[in-house]
Structure 1
Amino acid sequence: MVAGVQIHSKEAQQAQAEILTEDALKFLAALHRTFESTRQSLLVAREAAQLRLDSGVPLDFPPETAHIRADPSWQCAPPGPGLEDRRVEITGPTDRKMVVNALNSGTKTFMADFEDANSPTFANMLNGQVNLRDAIRRQIDFESGGKSYKLKEKPAVLIARTRGWHLDEPRITVDNAPMSASLFDFALYFYHNAWELVKRGSGPYYYLPKMEHYLEARLWNDVFNFSQSYIGMPFGTIRGTVLIETLPAAFQMEEILFELRTHSSGLNCGRWDYIFSFIKRRRADKSAILPDRKDVTMESPFMDAYVRLLIQTCHKRRVAAMGGMSAQIPVKNDVQANEAAMNKVRVDKLREVKAGHDGTWIAHPAINQIAMDIFNEYMLGPHQYHIRREDVRVAAADLVNSKVTGQITSSGVQSGVEAALAYSGAWLGGNGCIPLNHLMEDAATAEISRVQLWQWVRYGARLADTGETITPEYVDRVVDAAGPKLVGGPISEKNMEIVSKYLKAQVRKEWPGEFLTSDLMGHLAVADGCPAQWQRSVL
């Protein structure tokens, strides 16, 4: 329909007709032609930054932007309509049932996730856009299994999370190059819904993931301005909350806010991806080895420093400092285990509100009341911007302090293998988040497991409980024992074979793959009918 634009998929044809309209494709093409070269240059800059870290150059706060950090006069935009109070946000994928249940959960906002809680099959991506469009227009009600799903009168405020700058959308090419997945997700939601959202008293609101440099935030701001101009919308209508979930971004929080200041609605502690990035970016540093994932808590030195700095930074610039996700979910048919899990949630949310966070994340509607009660008790106003945390002094060394109390154990290896295999297997089957051992696993937690296994093998870590050295062969045995037991439901035997082979190969590499979602995307694209020539990485 549009010169230079091709759709490489036969999936979700009805959704294609509704979402990939001629005018929407023209908008996608305009964004790609304007911003793709900048995106690619920023991804090359990430590679160069990693090589500097590998050579021993330490991370530090950028000297060229010291004047931005020192200037007390600038502030970010005021909250967009409906974002004044964000004390509890629920997150989840964009399937129709989840969208209704999340919007009806009683939380203040719902982050509809096209990224870590989503498997990016083309059907999922397009149907997710249909579901959000219908929810905004109050046309999402449906029946399934004899149950009625109906949106309540005042649902949560909707925020969409795009995929990160590093990901392609190979099912759409413009001028013979795959589109940015970020721009694909952003553009379709914006083009179809921006004016409708404003008309209904809200706005086009986004969560922006995986950034590693303030220039990547500048790119988003340029995209926002271009897009608002394209449809004749006033500048500053869009709002973006940035997930600080990479180690380099923690050194550039103020700069990221500065670049997005006319569109910013704050920062979020993306804790699980942050741990993943901490390991990955310090891959050449043997002193950065971390213990079992369960021991890497928010009280760990590098995590505590990152949280304190984020809250101080946000409140200095008058925007929301959002807390992170407790991985616990309700435990059915086990009262004692459920109470233990919910107590962990209470402790986590109490820590956040007392630290000065303006809101928190949950993954299940049943947890809303726990989080809401705690924030209602300790946060009497809509936010805590008045808590300036001027006592906080975070140095570069604090953000890389890896002295975490804990051990590397055989059970830690076992749980890491299970999480990586189960999530990746379900992801290949079209499911982007799964419950496992009473935790909600998504791409971030699977990534921690993958790079921890690589790190332990790379540096010959010893198991505290058995004294064995963690070798590739040791991981092989754990994989071979765990894999068959995980098959079932969304995890097919074929996909388990694929991810088992992948994990075994990962622990043998000099450096781990940047993202499992990039490494495995080729399998989803092939299943959608996308020719291999449009895929930058096929396993």
Structure 2
Amino acid sequence: MTDRIRITEHAPGQERVLTPQALEFLLSLHDLAERRRRELRRLRRTRRAALADGATPTFLPETRHIRDDATWQVAPPAPGLEDRRVEITGPIERKMTINALNSGARVWLADCEDASSPTWENVIASQANLQDAIRGTIEFTSPQGKEYRVTAERTPTIVVRPRGWHLDERRILVDGEPMSASLVDFGLHMLHNADALIASGRGPYFYLPKLESHLEARLWNDVFVAAQDMLLIPRGTIRATVLIETISAAFEMEEILYELREHSSGLNAGRWDYLFSIIRAFRFRGPDFVLPDRSALTMTAPFMRAYTEQLVRACHRRGAHAIGGMAAFVPSAKDPEATQVALAQVAEDKRREAADGFDGSWVAHPGLVETAQAEFDAVLGDAPHQLGRSRDDVVPDEAALIDLSTTPGDITEAGLRLNVEVGIRYMEAWLRGQGAVAIHSLMEDAATAEISRSQVWQWIHVEARTVEGHTISRDRVKGIVRELSASFERFDGDRFDEAVTLFHEVALRPTYPAFFTLAGTERYLSPLAEETPIAA
């Protein structure tokens, strides 16, 4: 049966990962899910077009019975997921894997998605590194001779984030067509590691990104059921936390929990992708839908408060964990004063989340674990979570979720330049295979780069003006690109030329690509890249 599958590239360790059994398993998942995945992608495009044409998102009338039924609950917390007060995120790169396992966090989000550039080498290496991490054999020696090993007595529970339903894996073809990247990441981890994880007292756990409807959660649930049945694992062993990081998903939070209920372990406030989704959804609207500088978009903005409070309410009403947003600061021993200021801001952010009822939160760097944990310890004490805190005081409010008009902050010249710089610098690193990149003491990933390029596109389209009085035009941004490009420090093997071209294509063209990662993968990281136009 595996003669239906063709692998178009080779990477070190591939034979260990893409075994005949693994390919058979992937093929079974493909046959189960591919037709519906394509239908759901068409539905996405239809809904996005409606929003762009002026439709207002609402709570779905056809699923009101699910929201109104107060009796159903998700499954109780799974082994290793009872206490999630601090979760660390990062790519499944060998050294960063070891650092995450030694970090002291309760959970490690092993990221195949926004913190990982989807080169074929990374796809294969991530799976090999997961196998070694789960079996306790992972180690690494740097080119400078520094050795890295797992020394922690208690390592975090591993939760893998596969790529989203919208992405294809163009290096694995089934009947001549690319496989779902989601199923590749999920299926390889599930096949190789589920039994070892269960034997360790934990289980195969996942974070599900970029969902745009409860129907997409239903497809994941069907995949989970089929995978467990094929591997002779009891149903409900798989657990999934869904990132609420699209505006449409924010209107279907309880429905998403319902579809996954025997496999659900909660929802996460994916703040950066959520902001990106809002900009993308309302990019054609008037001034009330134009947001200020990215640096001004804090979690205290009224529309973000509505989003997070409604998320905690939805989760705790159904017995599910609510996990807070990312702290992206990167501490630096070279600037202790700035680090102390930033750590105080991280502490304030986590203090607010814990007070709001969140059961845990994300950090992007091991140096933030202690700060975040202290704030959740102060609220949780010895309790593992806050599931008993129902937040009945929060009333679901459609209008509040999309009321951007009261967002404080300005569009500034510095904010415009920073968006351009971050967009290009991140894309350059991403093209070289780096998905998590420290820029100006912040850990940038694909989501933050999407915000940067999308704000630039929207500001050009609506002819926004900076607080200094300048209209943002395409020609003006082109000038900033040229100026910044001349200032970048070049090095052997850099990909700044391609990054500038990619930035032009996803931020400056009249058409708006839904994801720069999709456009960049098709153009630069695909085996058919030279034949493939940028997807609009």
- The TM-score, its normalising length taken from structure 1, stands at 0.96
Q: Specify the alignment match of 2:62 in structure 1.
A: 64
| Alpha-carbon distance between aligned partners in 2 of 1:26 and 1:417, rounded to the nearest angstrom | 44
What one-letter code is carried by the residue in structure 2 that aligns with 1:424?
M
Cα deviation, residue 487, structure 1: 4.2
Which residues of structure 1 form unaligned runs of 5+? Answer: none
Asked if 2 retains the 8 angstrom alpha-carbon contact of 1:472 and 1:507, the reply is no
Shift of the 189–487 alpha-carbon distance from structure 1 to 2, 3 Å rule, reads: farther
Q: Tell me the secondary structure at the aligned position of residue 142 of structure 1.
A: strand
Pick the aligned partner of 1:134 from 132, 135, 138.
Answer: 132
Q: Specify the alignment match of 1:425 in structure 2.
A: 428
What one-letter code is carried by the residue in structure 1 that aligns with 2:58?
D
User: How many residues of Structure 1 are paired with residues of Structure 2 in the alignment?
Assistant: 531
What one-letter code is carried by the residue in structure 1 that aligns with 2:272?
W
Cα deviation, residue 52, structure 1: 1.5
Q: Specify the alignment match of 1:531 in structure 2.
A: 528
Q: Specify the alignment match of 1:198 in structure 2.
A: 198
Shift of the 303–140 alpha-carbon distance from structure 1 to 2, 3 Å rule, reads: same
Report whether the alignment pairs 1:517 with 2:528: no
Q: Specify the alignment match of 2:80 in structure 1.
A: 82
| Alpha-carbon distance between aligned partners in 1 of 2:165 and 2:63, rounded to the nearest angstrom | 23
Q: Tell me the secondary structure at the aligned position of residue 3 of structure 2.
A: coil
Q: Specify the alignment match of 2:393 in structure 1.
A: 391
Q: Return 400-409 or 146-155, whichever deviates more.
A: 146-155
Report whether the alignment pairs 1:159 with 2:159: yes
Deviations 1:157-200 (Å, cap 9, x if unpaired)? 11100000000000001111100000000000000000110011
Q: Specify the alignment match of 1:243 in structure 2.
A: 243
Which residues of structure 2 form unaligned runs of 5+? Answer: none
Q: Specify the alignment match of 1:377 in structure 2.
A: 378
Q: Tell me the secondary structure at the aligned position of residue 266 of structure 2.
A: strand
Q: Specify the alignment match of 1:349 in structure 2.
A: 350
Cα deviation, residue 329, structure 1: 1.4
Q: Tell me the secondary structure at the aligned position of residue 26 of structure 2.
A: helix
Q: Specify the alignment match of 1:2 in structure 2.
A: 2
Q: Specify the alignment match of 2:416 in structure 1.
A: 413
Q: Specify the alignment match of 2:261 in structure 1.
A: 261
| Alpha-carbon distance between aligned partners in 2 of 1:390 and 1:534, rounded to the nearest angstrom | 55
Cα deviation, residue 484, structure 1: 3.5
Q: Specify the alignment match of 1:463 in structure 2.
A: 466
Q: Specify the alignment match of 1:486 in structure 2.
A: 488
What one-letter code is carried by the residue in structure 1 that aligns with 2:480?
V
Cα deviation, residue 525, structure 1: 3.0
- The TM-score, its normalising length taken from structure 2, stands at 0.96
Shift of the 474–332 alpha-carbon distance from structure 1 to 2, 3 Å rule, reads: farther
Deviations 1:238-282 (Å, cap 9, x if unpaired)? 000000000000000000000000100000000000000001011
Q: Tell me the secondary structure at the aligned position of residue 520 of structure 2.
A: helix
Q: Tell me the secondary structure at the aligned position of residue 360 of structure 1.
A: strand
Report whether the alignment pairs 1:33 with 2:36: no
| Alpha-carbon distance between aligned partners in 2 of 1:88 and 1:155, rounded to the nearest angstrom | 13
| Alpha-carbon distance between aligned partners in 2 of 1:388 and 1:534, rounded to the nearest angstrom | 54
Shift of the 137–509 alpha-carbon distance from structure 1 to 2, 3 Å rule, reads: same
Cα deviation, residue 537, structure 1: 5.0
Matches within 5 A, 1:263-278: 263-278=263-278
Matches within 5 A, 1:174-189: 174-189=174-189
CA RMSD of aligned residues (A): 1.6
Shift of the 405–20 alpha-carbon distance from structure 1 to 2, 3 Å rule, reads: same
Q: Specify the alignment match of 1:147 in structure 2.
A: 146
Percent of aligned pairs with the same residue?
46
| Alpha-carbon distance between aligned partners in 2 of 1:538 and 1:121, rounded to the nearest angstrom | 18
Q: Return 45-54 or 480-489, whichever deviates more.
A: 480-489
Deviations 1:12-46 (Å, cap 9, x if unpaired)? 1x311100000100111111112111000000001
Q: Return 352-361 or 323-332, whichever deviates more.
A: 323-332
| Alpha-carbon distance between aligned partners in 2 of 1:449 and 1:382, rounded to the nearest angstrom | 37
Deviations 1:49-104 (Å, cap 9, x if unpaired)? 11221222210000000000000100001111100000000000001111111011
| Alpha-carbon distance between aligned partners in 2 of 1:395 and 1:259, rounded to the nearest angstrom | 22
| Alpha-carbon distance between aligned partners in 1 of 2:422 and 2:342, rounded to the nearest angstrom | 18
Shift of the 112–535 alpha-carbon distance from structure 1 to 2, 3 Å rule, reads: farther
| Alpha-carbon distance between aligned partners in 2 of 1:534 and 1:199, rounded to the nearest angstrom | 46
